Amino acid sequence: MKTKILTLLAASTLAFFTACSDDSGSNKTPAEICAEGLSEDCLVGTWTLKSISQKGNNEIITDFSAAQGGTLVFSEDSLYHYTRSTAGECPGSLSGGTDDKGHWSINEGTLIFKANKEGDCVEFGKTFTTTPKIEVVGETVTLILNTVLFQEAESDGMFAGNDTEVFVRTE
């Protein structure tokens, strides 16, 4: 009887730990996860602005030093936070600032941003959509937004939609 109880206890314990184990591929690197395509698991983390590509005049602006660049953080609770190192000029009537915040989601390959903070370079309540491209080379993951959402471009690109922002995964 004692053997049956111990066997039952061991089986129950094993079943409990198996049910509670994380089998979501947590051993994969961000590069491995992102190589599978756009997903929440791929996006969650920190991305650093690498460049803005201006399609109109074929210029690629890569001078994003600490004083000019920005960091985009996607959190697991579907919030995003973009931080510029310095306050900048924003297109139109918006006021320059150093950060933008809101909610993000993915719907059939489209990345959706909804601003929940007034001012800076994104209007409160405004929804932005973009169909991003993910590139993976070795362990480097690049996120290409097909529009400029967080930085001003010479062509007022945030609204023109003809430029791209390129981010590199840093965490």
Q: What's the confidence (pLDDT) of residue 97?
A: 55
Q: Provide, rounded to the nearest whole percent, the portion of the chain with pLDDT above 90.
A: 33
Q: What's the confidence (pLDDT) of residue 7?
A: 52
Q: Is residue 159 part of a domain?
A: yes
Q: Is residue 5 part of a domain?
A: no
Backbone phi, then psi, for 17, in 5-degree steps? -70, -35
Q: Is residue 10 part of a domain?
A: no
CA angle 141, 145, 151 (to 5 degrees): 110
pLDDT tens-digit readout, 66-85? 545 688 999 999 999 888 76
* pLDDT at residue 37 is higher than 80: yes
* pLDDT at residue 92 is higher than 70: no
Q: Exposed, middle or buried: residue 16 (CB in 10 Å: 0-12, 13-18, 19+)? A: exposed
Q: What's the confidence (pLDDT) of residue 63?
A: 65
Q: Which of 86, 82, 87 has its CA nearest to residue 117? A: 82
Output the CA torsion 46→130→153→50 (10° steps). Answer: 30
Q: Is residue 150 part of a domain?
A: yes
Of 7-16, 113-122, 148-157, the least confident: 7-16
CB 163 within 8 A of CB 154: no
What average pLDDT does this structure show over 132-142? Answer: 95
Higher local confidence (pLDDT), 13 or 80: 80
Domain range spanning residue 91? Answer: 27-169
Read off the pLDDT band of 159 (50, 70, 90): very low
What's the pTM?
Answer: 0.71
Q: Is residue 36 part of a domain?
A: yes
Count of structural domains within the chain = 1
Mean pLDDT (the chain) is 74
Q: Is residue 96 part of a domain?
A: yes
The CATH number covering residue 51 comes to: 2.40.128.280
What average pLDDT does this structure show over 4-28? Answer: 53
Q: What's the confidence (pLDDT) of residue 149?
A: 76
